[in-house]
A and B are shown apart, each in its own frame.
Chain A
Amino acid sequence: MKLGILLPEFEPLPGAFTAWRAEVDAATWRLTVHQVWESGGRLLALWGADTGKTPCVHVALVFAGRLLWLSLPVPGQEPEYPDLSDLFPAANRMQRAAFDLLGIRARGAEDKRRWLRHGAWPVNEFPLRRGFDAARRADPVADEYAFVRVEGDGVHEIPVGPVHAGIIEPGHFRFSIVGERVLRLEERFGYVHKGIEKRFEALGVHDGFKLAGRVSGDSTVAYAWAYAMAAEGASGLTPPARALWLRALWLERERIANHLGDLGYIGNDAGLGFALAQFSRLKEDWLRSNERAFGHRYLMDRIVPGGVAVDLSTEAAALMREDILRLRGEVTRLSAIFDEHPGLQDRLVGTGRVTRELGERLGMTGMAARASGMPLDVRVLFPCTPYDVLQPRMVVHEGGDVAARAAVRFDEIFESLGLCGRIIDELPEGNTVTLFPAPPDGAFGLGWIEGWRGDVFIALEAGANGALRRVHPHDPSWRNWPVLEHAIIGNIVPDFPLINKSFNLSYSGQDL
């Protein structure tokens, strides 16, 4: 069917939410994306695939309350497709990654620098092509990377990383500064590229959940759920209601755990060590409850295609109720301390500000977007079970600064505590898992879950006999890292750790 003003014929893709898919030619590709862009739509993800015949480039878009998936075959010796980064700047790095992994080039894109390839595999070979030998080890050749240089009186550069000063993932930051003030920040990532997408190809559809849960460890529930949703969509399976409600319980518990940790570090990076001691204590209590009730501190491998691997016992439910009550009291007290601490507020307010207009132009998403007044939350806009029943309140703040990103976290902790309580009270009876049938060869499935950081998206294509042909896990960090480059402009270098922490983006999730 046709969707409004959009040109191609779309086919509905069944699953936990309805998506629309169309295979297009190059002209329609560009035209459709242009129409989406003009009407205020968003780009969610862009990735490539080589599933046998010709390589393909895919883009997922959000437009008029629908998720659209366009696929464009790109044949030839030097396959090319029309560039989208002039419309959606976030496409820049995704297109460069698609070239590194598949050798498909965005025609007309200005930025042709490599993104994920630093020299670990030969220049003219592409790991996600069918014929590429995943086990092969080539000799590393150190690549030159042309950072954009800022020149002028008194400008100098500070290179930081990949190995950072703290306990943090590796990546490179190049600051151009005058005195203490940052004129420009340029990021270079790809250091933790460990071949996740190629690894998926060696796994079965059912077994892929473990790897999905380790794309970005801090979001293991969000990834595992998105993966299960995609696999179940491809199989045409709806898991038992109790399983879906338990998944939501864990997703909210993951959100609370990460927000607690971040609030501690935000306070600490602004010089309030007290906050770190308090919030890390609360986070530890929370993780221990996870361990007691479900057998894993971070809830890894609890979600499986077809349902969940553990149930909630009556004793655990009672424990959680107490936990929720206690944490609500503790966070209320700490929230008041944050609000009334002039030294802390002085560091948070106005620091690392991203306006709504800038955020929309760059395609910001998730928790950081909501702190800049952008009402984006998959749980609210595209609710799957049980969020259609729970109807969570979307937390939005207008400030766009570190203070606003802290405020969103406080409010989301309270909202998620409420959701956890309701899930425990209203949890449907019944099975927690059903037999997962292998999806038909060539079946597609999508998963889309609002993790604590933002929306995690997974596109899956099944192969023959229950194998995986292609999985693309997409982290919200792809769209928010470029925003961080803008958030720091005009701020002082010592505020970078604070601003960076207020976004807390994933390296592993985007390096894959």
Chain B
Amino acid sequence: MYRILKQIARTGLVTETPPQADERYRLLSNRLQQAVLRSFAGALTIRQVDAGSCNGCELEIHATNNPYYNLEGLGIRFVASPRHADMLLVTGPVSRNMETALRRTYDATPEPRLVVAIGDCGCTGGIFGESYASCGRVSKVIPVDVAVPGCPPTPLQIIQGILTAIDIRTAAG
């Protein structure tokens, strides 16, 4: 226990300032996450769905929870069921064998049911494209609010995409 405490003290606080929503992905970013999160009672929950990725995007989604980015510190948390989720974070391309599972996950998610497509493949089908086995981009299968390009997008880009989706929905209504 002593060693653990010593290591924690030695490490200190490494969390960096969270990014603001990026203009590139759409709309403005005039408020920081606190104001935005008010419309979600201070907490946003995300269900991540790998609908066919190479697992590269998953590595970076994992990284958003490391102490540097500390996504959970912004009140944003990954949950185990779509029924508990406000947002789906979907990586693609959507394989034909995941098409039904993705639709069912979407149907099981309660409103506001935000969808953020992650990665070049989620945005366009990427290097895998459309084929007998791949539906291509996520929006071919379910409605998408924000698409974050990159192969894979960095943790900062992913977090920016999440904030942008919240912004759009807050602005809309």
Contacts and interface: CB of A to CB of B under 8 A. Distances in A.
A340 B3 contact: yes
Contacts of A506: 55
A281 B132 contact: no
Interface string B73-97: 0000010111000000000010111
B98 A337 contact: no
Contacts of B129: 199
Interface in A196-230: 196, 198-199, 210-211, 214-218, 220
A508 interface: yes
A138 B57 CA distance: 28
A220 B56 contact: yes
A193 B128 contact: no
Given A169-B53, A193-B96, A298-B59, 16 more contacts: A119-B97, A135-B132, A140-B99, A165-B80, A169-B50, A193-B95, A196-B128, A217-B54, A217-B58, A274-B7, A274-B8, A280-B62, A284-B63, A284-B68, A336-B3, A506-B55
Contact of B67 (A220, A277, A341): A277
B139 interface: no
Interface residues of A, number: 61
B56 A218 contact: yes
B134 interface: yes
Contacts of B67: 277, 280-281, 284
Interface in A454-489: none
B101 interface: yes
Nearest to A117: B97
A169 B65 CA distance: 17
Contacts of A508: 53-55
Nearest to A203: B127
9 contacts: A119-B97, A133-B132, A137-B130, A163-B105, A167-B50, A168-B58, A281-B66, A337-B7, A508-B55
Contact of B133 (A133, A195, A210, A211): A195
B104 to A, nearest CB: 8
Contact of A216 (B14, B55, B78, B132): B55
Contact of B54 (A170, A216, A281, A283): A216
Nearest 7 pairs of A and B residues by beta carbon: A217-B56, A120-B96, A195-B133, A165-B80, A280-B66, A217-B54, A214-B54
